Each structure stands twice: as C-alpha cells, then as structure tokens.
Structure 1
Amino acid sequence: MLACGNGMSTSLLAKRMQDAADKQGLDAVVFAGAVKTIPSEMDKKHPDVVLIGPQVRYVVPELKEKLDVPVEMINTMDYGMMNGENVLETAKKLVAASK
C-alpha cells in the first residue's frame, strides 16, 4: 500500500509499481490511498508493506508503532520521478526483511 495526503499523487506511482510487478511476473497488488484510510485498508486488504509519500512523512513513526507490517517513507527522488521500479524494489526488500 502507498499512502499520501489524499491518495492522488501515490495513485500514479502505484500504477507504475503494478506495471513493474506485472513485468517481473510477481503476484502483487499495489494500491494507493489517503493516510486516513490506512486502518480500514489494513483490515480489508492486509497489505504486506505500507509506503508513505514524503509530504506526510510525519506519520511514519506513529504508523510504525501501530502497524504490524513494515512502514517507510518513499525515497523523495523516486517519488518525484514516479520511479515505480525502484519503489517496488524497496517494497520487496522490506517485505523480505520482515519475514
């Protein structure tokens, strides 16, 4: 799951990540939403990792305490460039490290 203030800017990045995952043949579902939707999305979709847009980085420490999955801020450069491949690699590493 990707999250930002309203889920708008992360939606494009999620699409690019999904395209990269599909290209790699990964069984992955990448989706975006607003930070305020994270609790309900955790209940509904059970994401393996939550990546937060740089503009709302202040929520990362609180989410790390509350959630039982890895939570990190998306690299600012990758976010600005909408580099779905790099952000997907970050997500894969976080999931692998949590197992």
Structure 2
Amino acid sequence: MAEQTIMLNCSAGMSTSLLVTKMQQAAKADGIDAKIFACPASEADQHIQNEEIDCVLLGPQVSYMRGDFENKVKGAGKDGKDIPLDVIDMQAYGMMDGEKVLKQAESLING
C-alpha cells in the first residue's frame, strides 16, 4: 500500500507531537506505511496546498475550527476530492492512544 499522509492540527502543534509519535509506533507495529505529522492550525493551509494529504485530524481543543477546515480541505485532495477531516476522539486524545487515533484516520482514508 502506498504511503498515507496524516496531518494533525492543534493550537500550536505542540500537544499533538506526542500523539504523532504514538501513532507512528502503532503504524510501524501494524505494517502501515504512513507519514504522520503535526502542525499548528495556522500552518495548515501551507501543507494542504503543497502536499498530498490523505487525512486531516483536528485536536479537540481546535474543534471549533472544523467549519474553517472543511473549507480548506474542500477539493484539495487527490483528483480534486475533499480531504477527509475529523476531530480526534477526545478520550483517545486524552489517553494519547496512538493506535485508536490511527484507526480513526484509517477509517476516514479507506471510507
């Protein structure tokens, strides 16, 4: 399977960095080829425009920005499709459950 690119967004990109590490460990253990990174919401446009993003996940603390992100990802994916978008499950986020958040991303990517 081709590499999947999963972008996590939060206020400053700091709180999601540990979650990214946990997700990378889970992906490696599951044999999933994935590029997973975090960035501040303020830098999301740059990444969406310049990279092939397969999934965008928002930290619960920026869930209020979902409407803005829905506009950002509209038509920005492969073949002009919308990039799948969701807010990270709050319990999984609080527990830093990389496996659960990875599964959330996978279900968005695979429909």
TM-score, normalized by the shorter chain, greater than 0.5: yes
The TM-score normalised by the length of structure 1 is 0.93
Q: What residue is the counterpart of 1:18 in the other structure?
A: 24
2:81 pairs with 1:70: no
SS at match of 1:91: helix
Amino-acid identity (%): 42
1:35 has 2:49 as partner = no
Unaligned stretches of 5+ residues in structure 2: 1-6, 74-81
Q: Please, which moves more after superposition, 40-49 or 26-35?
A: 40-49
Structure 2 contact 13–39 (Cα < 8 Å) conserved:
yes
Q: CA RMSD in A?
A: 0.9
**Paired residues, number:** 97
Which is higher, the Rg of structure 1 or of structure 2? 2
Gaps of 5+ in 1: none
CA contact (8 A) 2:63 2:87 kept: yes
1:17 deviation in Å? 0.4
More strand by share: 2
> Larger deviation: 79-88 or 37-46?
37-46
Relative to total residues, which structure has the larger helix share, 1 or 2?
1
